[in-house]
């Protein structure tokens, strides 16, 4: 039996411990049933070569921004800018006013309210297929398939518990390849039909479900290819559909609650 490093044991204990869930998130506010938040979940944290280089340099300003997960730092990342655009449009503003939205709402910053950002799988990689000796040392797993299989049991149970307790008004899952995982953590038993649309000749799709513990929208990745949310027009179209689906759900929900009494 291979010996598991102290770092790997700490990683596993942190992931399994419901009380330490927020340590595995980028930042923000999980909310409460009375003051619910919007959760944005990616597949795993990105970690580019530029991030690695910056991390090696002694930059106290960047270190402070990382600790705070400041909007100014987030603006440097394409994924986060795409998220700001989507949230801006869902919340009733517009895609092109995402900077003003982010500066006002301060999504995901330490101490801010109304938004939480996390990932299905908490270890950062440059590409979703990456795995190396450092990853094995950090997690205790020989390969990525084994790592993810363990997390789908251990971490997903924690995610489901926090979602059940906090009741976010919406969970946004970024990454269609993990559609079933996003449905699983939100207690959605049936896959919703795809909403398909086209932008500049490129087909897109997303899924919105309101039949689980909380509403969930699974969208293409913001940094993907021609079928991703890679333009303001595609992000705006996705936001319109999600907002309309949520409005219909909010209208219908009181009637359903009354009927259940």
Partners of 119 in beta bridges: 42
| Cβ atoms 95, 88 nearer than 8 A | yes
pLDDT tens for 92-138 read: 899 999 999 999 999 999 999 999 999 999 988 766 667 888 888 88
pLDDT tens for 78-93 read: 999 999 999 999 998 9
For residue 203, CA distances in Å to 30, 83, 196, 198, 246 come to: 33, 20, 7, 4, 23
For residue 60, name the pLDDT band (cuts at 50, 70, 90).
low
Instruction: Identify the pLDDT of residue 58.
Output: 53
* Angle, alpha carbons 186-120-155 (nearest 5°): 80
Q: What is the CATH number of domain 26-59+117-260?
A: 3.40.470
Please report, for the chain, the start and end positions of each structural domain, with discontinuous segments joined by +: 26-59+117-260
For residue 57, name the pLDDT band (cuts at 50, 70, 90).
low
pLDDT tens for 9-31 read: 999 999 999 999 999 999 999 99
Residues 227-251, mean pLDDT to the nearest whole number: 93
Mean pLDDT of the chain: 88
């Amino acid at each position: 039996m291979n010996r598991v490093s102290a770092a790997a044991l700490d990683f596993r204990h942190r992931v399994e411990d419901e009380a330490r869930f927020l340590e595995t998130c980028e930042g923000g506010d999980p909310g409460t049933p009375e003051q619910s938040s919007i959760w944005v979940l990616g597949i795993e944290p990105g970690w580019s070569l530029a991030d690695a280089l910056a991390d090696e340099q002694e930059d106290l300003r960047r270190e402070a921004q990382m600790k705070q997960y400041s909007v100014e730092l987030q603006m440097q990342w394409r994924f986060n800018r795409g998220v700001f655009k989507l949230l801006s449009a869902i919340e009733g503003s517009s895609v092109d006013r995402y900077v003003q939205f982010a500066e006002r709402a301060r999504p995901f910053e330490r101490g801010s309210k109304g938004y939480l950002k996390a990932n299905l799988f908490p270890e950062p990689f440059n590409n979703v297929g990456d795995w190396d000796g450092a990853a094995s040392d950090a997690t205790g797993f020989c390969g990525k398939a084994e790592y993810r299989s363990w997390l789908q049991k251990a971490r997903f149970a924690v995610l489901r518990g926090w979602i059940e307790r906090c009741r976010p008004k919406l969970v946004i899952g970024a990454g269609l390849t993990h559609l079933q995982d996003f449905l699983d953590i939100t207690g959605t038993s049936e896959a919703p039909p795809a909403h398909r649309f086209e932008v500049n000749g490129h087909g897109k799709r997303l899924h919105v479900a309101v039949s689980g513990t909380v509403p969930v929208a699974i969208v293409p990745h913001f940094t993907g290819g021609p079928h991703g949310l890679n333009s303001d027009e595609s992000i705006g179209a996705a936001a319109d559909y999600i907002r309309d689906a949520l409005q219909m759900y909010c209208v219908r929900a009181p009637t359903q609650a009354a009927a259940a009494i």
